[in-house]
Structure 1
Amino acid sequence: DSYSGFLLAGLGFGVSGASFAVGIAYTSVWFPPQYQGTALGVFGAGNAGAALTSIFAPMLLKSLTNGGENLEGWRTMPRIYAALLLGTALLFWFLTYEKKVVQSKTMTLAERLSPLRHMRVWRFGLYYFLVFGGFVALAQWLIPYYVNVYSMSVATAGLLASIFSFPSGVIRAVGGWMSDKFGARSVMYWVLGTIAIASALLSIPRMDLQSPGAGVMAKRPGIVTEVASDKVVIGDQVYKLIPPATDADWKDQDGFQPFPKSRSWQVPAVKVGDKVKKKELVARGVTYVHFQSNVWIFTCLVFVVGIAMGIGKAAVYKHIPDYFPNEVGVVGGMVGVLGGLGGFVCPIIFGYLLKGTGIWSTCWVFFLILTIVCLVWMHLVIRKMLFKRAPRLARQIEDQAADVFAHGEED
């Protein structure tokens, strides 16, 4: 019941989380390279458990506490979880047996850790920081996002957030199959491109913006004789004005508005009796822009981001047994650590961005920048590898691209 006991229990959960890296290494040794992406994707689909927990754990907790009347009932929940873990451990113990990479049996600790010297490991870690760390961070961040931006209840916000988290976990198996069939690099290009486009669209905040618009200036000097909402009279010259808009005229916040809407009007800047010179301002222009950031379009885009992240998680781990077949555990563990670090760091970054700007959509700007960094880094590395291994082919591709750009067609 003490705080120190709570911390020790949390440490135990953290240590048990290392089983993911162990599972990656254990799973990969059972399958040939052409099937490892699918196998690791199926293994990693267990991430969907986080979404299932967020959906069903509150219901179970409500039942165990009798709707909040018996608060001590919550203690039954970790016991149920512990029983499930114990059952899983027993099944694994009796239904599996040990299998190691042959070369790894004679490797020293220094040799096992040697892959960490390669920049490639840290590049994979940055990819995983985005696709897994971003997934974990958004699974937490989307609930307050929906509550604050769209004024939803916590229950409804949690349901909509699960549209992001649950498919993202399940689709990981499909991402593994795609990585085997099309190649991890090709899949990562599509993943990063999709996240970048969706993040760019999501970064536009829900807003009501007022800006100076087109005004009305006097054509000749005179004295103002009449001022109304729709006209100003100076001498014998009548200047027609656009009257101010009302919500009923153009802005229906409850309707479906996929694109920003704007309306302009003019407000008199003079009063009766004023002497007006030529080209003096008679009426100020006002332009009002309303962007609804429709919740269903937002949710669809978030769903696309979740799917891309789920596929990307499998594609990142497909790289590891290809490049480090004898150090899958070490490299997979380090990549997983960097991904988990993203789940911890990203919400903190989101909080500082929100505090500094007051705009919730700044989290998507962060994802856009991070995705572009990953995409550019990956592309530069691939170009460097291509020039190193097949310089003639690389030059031919660049020459053809230059011809297409210059002549508008390929020879």
Structure 2
Amino acid sequence: MFIATYEGIPSTIFQVLLGGPFLTGYLLYLGAGANVIGFVLAITTLVNIAQIFIAFMIQRLKSRKWAFVIFASLHRLLWSATGLIPFLFPKEWWVPVFIIVYFSAFMANAVGGVIWTSLISDMVPAAVRGRYFGIRNTLLNALGSLTLFIGGRILDDYPGSVAFTILFSVAGFFAICNIVMFCFYPDVPFERSVESRFLPMLKRPLHDAPFMKSTIFLAGWLFLQTLIVPLYSYVMLDLLQISYKSVSLLTVIQTVFMMASFYIWGNLNVRFSNKILLFWTLPLIAASCLAWGFLAILPMMLVLVVVHILLGVGVGGFNQLAFNFIIGDTPKSERPMFIAMYSAVTGLTSFLGPLIGGQIYKLMNDWPIWIQQYGFQTAVGVMMVVVALTWGRRILKEDVQKVSY
């Protein structure tokens, strides 16, 4: 657990510098439009569909640890390599080459992700999972906030190519550090599935009705969420013309509140079930989308601060509790396939969300500017409220009577 926490330090710095608003900024620098940005943001979840086959294949591994080291290292190295594109290729190739390398990086990450989740669920005792991940996520997000702030200052203080050269150089260094630290993970004994064939193994999660109902609902929710949330940075940078520093500061605010919420959600998870707490994250995420509508009457930065506070608390809880749900509410021997099924189903909808959202923003180019800046987000927020209070309440709160208050 100590190693898993400290391994997260270089991993967090690496992923913060190359992801989030910095990824959007880099894509804009390479010449990508809203539809391409939506597609790129969706790639990370599309590859999760392959995890169903990966979960079957890892049953044959002699060592989960070294397979994880290989594929996680490939992810870090390939993503870092996208920073070399402007130096190696003519400008018209920048975006296509980025998509190919980025896709390859996250295909490797899909393999590493299944193995890591399987490993970490065996490394952390069930009795302390909620509290441990709350503390771990709090520490790493505090570091992420500082990294976001420094990265935003770099992008504002230096011209485009110089700034991105600095970011990718620093990220590359921490990618190497991260790879070295992976080697210190323990090779925990692996409890394999009782099934040896693919189809019977696949049927295990499919025949678990409560698991599949919750998974399908959460996948639908993530479709609505990813229609707009991944494109927040695009709206702020391109439509509202906010500086990189301001966007980074807003992301820092989001991360600080996410960080505080991890500890709170982790402690609540000791008393309440994953599904009950997941339900209570939904209105917070919906409120983040609805809050964009206040741009019509209130100062822009005030509204965006509220948007990011709500998003930080809501998404922080959602991600942590969804993770605890798939590693804590599933049978140990079949856990890789349950993890893969959840990742595949939610990955498909999370791929379609930003892809369709990017296309919608492209179609809205000639529409009134208020629709592009906040009208679309508000409309999706209304839909999210309806979904949360109907299907969400019925599916995620179905075991409310089992909870001891």
TM-score (norm 2): 0.58
Deviation at 1:369, TM superposition (A): 0.9
Please, which moves more after superposition, 294-303 or 86-95?
Answer: 294-303
Amino acid at match of 2:379: V
* Contact 1:132/1:340 (<8 A) preserved: yes
Structure 1 residues 365 and 339: alpha-carbon distance in aligned structure 2, compared to 1, 3 A threshold? same
Which of residues 105, 109, 112 in structure 1 aligns to 2:198?
Answer: 109
Aligned to 2:311: 305
**Residue 337 (1) aligns with residue 342 (2):** no
Aligned to 1:191: 281
Which of residues 321, 332, 356 in structure 1 aligns to 2:327?
Answer: 321
Q: How does 1:276-295 map to 2 (within 5 A)?
A: 291-293=297-299, 295=301
3-state SS in 2 of match to 1:94: coil
Amino acid at match of 2:122: V
Q: Counting helix residues as a fraction of each chain, which structure ranks higher? A: 2
Render the CA deviation track for 1:205-258: whole Å, top value 9, x for unaligned: 41xxxxxxxxxxxxxxxxxxxxxxxxxxxxxxxxxxxxxxxxxxxxxxxxxxxx
Structure 1 residues 345 and 83: alpha-carbon distance in aligned structure 2, compared to 1, 3 A threshold? farther
**Residue 94 (1) aligns with residue 184 (2):** yes
Hey, what's the Cα distance between the residues in 1 that align with 2:109 and 2:385? 26
Q: How does 1:1-400 map to 2 (within 5 A)?
A: 1-2=88-89, 3=93, 5-18=97-110, 19-41=112-134, 54-60=148-154, 67-68=158-159, 71=161, 74-75=164-165, 77-100=167-190, 102-104=191-193, 106-114=195-203, 115=205, 118-129=212-223, 135-144=229-238, 146-147=240-241, 152-165=242-255, 167-168=257-258, 171-172=261-262, 174-206=264-296, 291-293=297-299, 295-325=301-331, 326-327=334-335, 328-334=338-344, 337-338=347-348, 340-341=350-351, 342-350=353-361, 352=363, 356-359=367-370, 360-362=373-375, 363-381=377-395
How many corresponding residue pairs? 295
Amino acid at match of 2:116: G
Aligned to 1:288: none
Structure 1 residues 357 and 99: alpha-carbon distance in aligned structure 2, compared to 1, 3 A threshold? farther
Amino acid at match of 1:318: N
* Contact 2:292/2:374 (<8 A) preserved: yes
Identity over aligned pairs, percent: 14
Hey, what's the Cα distance between the residues in 1 that align with 2:201 and 2:264? 30
Hey, what's the Cα distance between the residues in 1 that align with 2:231 and 2:142? 15
Aligned to 1:259: none
Structure 1 residues 52 and 353: alpha-carbon distance in aligned structure 2, compared to 1, 3 A threshold? farther
Gaps of 5+ in 2: 1-87
Q: Counting strand residues as a fraction of each chain, which structure ranks higher? A: 1
Hey, what's the Cα distance between the residues in 1 that align with 2:260 and 2:109? 19
* Contact 1:42/1:173 (<8 A) preserved: yes
Deviation at 1:120, TM superposition (A): 3.2
Hey, what's the Cα distance between the residues in 2 that align with 1:177 and 1:132? 28
Structure 1 residues 329 and 95: alpha-carbon distance in aligned structure 2, compared to 1, 3 A threshold? same
Structure 1 residues 128 and 155: alpha-carbon distance in aligned structure 2, compared to 1, 3 A threshold? same
Hey, what's the Cα distance between the residues in 2 that align with 1:335 and 1:43? 27
Structure 1 residues 60 and 369: alpha-carbon distance in aligned structure 2, compared to 1, 3 A threshold? same
Please, which moves more after superposition, 166-175 or 86-95?
Answer: 166-175
3-state SS in 1 of match to 2:193: helix
Render the CA deviation track for 1:111-134: whole Å, top value 9, x for unaligned: 443325734322232344456776
Render the CA deviation track for 1:64-104: whole Å, top value 9, x for unaligned: xxx449x578556434423322221221212422343x242
Structure 1 residues 123 and 49: alpha-carbon distance in aligned structure 2, compared to 1, 3 A threshold? farther
Hey, what's the Cα distance between the residues in 2 that align with 1:25 and 1:133? 29
Hey, what's the Cα distance between the residues in 1 that align with 2:366 and 2:391? 30
Question: Superposition RMSD on alpha carbons, in Å?
Answer: 4.0
Render the CA deviation track for 1:355-385: whole Å, top value 9, x for unaligned: 5453222213213313431442122235766
Structure 1 residues 191 and 49: alpha-carbon distance in aligned structure 2, compared to 1, 3 A threshold? same
Aligned to 2:18: none
Render the CA deviation track for 1:330-357: whole Å, top value 9, x for unaligned: 1353266247524554444455467545
Structure 1 residues 340 and 41: alpha-carbon distance in aligned structure 2, compared to 1, 3 A threshold? farther
Hey, what's the Cα distance between the residues in 1 that align with 2:270 and 2:225? 19
Hey, what's the Cα distance between the residues in 2 that align with 1:37 and 1:131? 24
Aligned to 1:399: none
3-state SS in 1 of match to 2:123: coil
3-state SS in 1 of match to 2:214: helix
Hey, what's the Cα distance between the residues in 2 that align with 1:377 and 1:322? 23
Deviation at 1:178, TM superposition (A): 2.7
